[in-house]
Amino acid sequence: MSGAGVANRFVLDTSALLTLHNDEAGSDRVAAVLLAAAEGKADVYGCFISLMEVLYRVWKTDGEAAGRTAYAQCLELPIVWVHESPALLERAASLKAVHALSLADAWIAATALECQATLMHKDPEFEPIAGLSEDRLPYK
């Protein structure tokens, strides 16, 4: 872990959600964070853009019905979904302007920074962001 996230406060990147969905290496860590949230021992956030990413990625690989099911399952998780706001937009834009991030990753990193949370992910693109607390799942 690196950076300045608050203990027991996490943002789940899309890659963490898909790790759980696909039961990949690290899914036990994602499940443990979600269990802690369900028990009131952690705060877990997700960026709105991750909902779209889960929907389209599962849809693309497993079909529309599976995509819609995965999306519905995300909504049932003990996650506070963070939606666009002027502060989040400006933070995401500033990250996108100075880092080699996808648009979605800029929104997700901005969410972690705005929530003062540790970003759980498996994406090396997040590593150069100063002040971002990370919990890196096993990279593929």
- Tell me the two tokens of residue 13: 């990147």
Domain boundaries, the chain: 9-136
Q: What is the rounded CA–CA span in Å between residue 10 and residue 34?
A: 9
The pLDDT assigned to 2 comes to 46
Judged against a pLDDT cut of 80, whether residue 5 lies above it is answered with: no
Judged against a pLDDT cut of 50, whether residue 1 lies above it is answered with: no
| CATH 3.30.70.250 describes domain 9-136 | no
Query: pTM of the full predicted structure?
Result: 0.93
The pLDDT assigned to 6 comes to 63
The pLDDT assigned to 139 comes to 85
The model's pLDDT over 33-76, given as tens digits with 9 standing for 90+, comes to 999 999 999 999 999 999 999 999 999 999 999 999 999 999 99
Strands (E), 36-138: 43-47, 80-82, 118-121, 134-136
Q: What mean pLDDT do residues 71-83 have?
A: 98
Q: What is the rounded CA–CA span in Å between residue 61 and residue 84?
A: 28
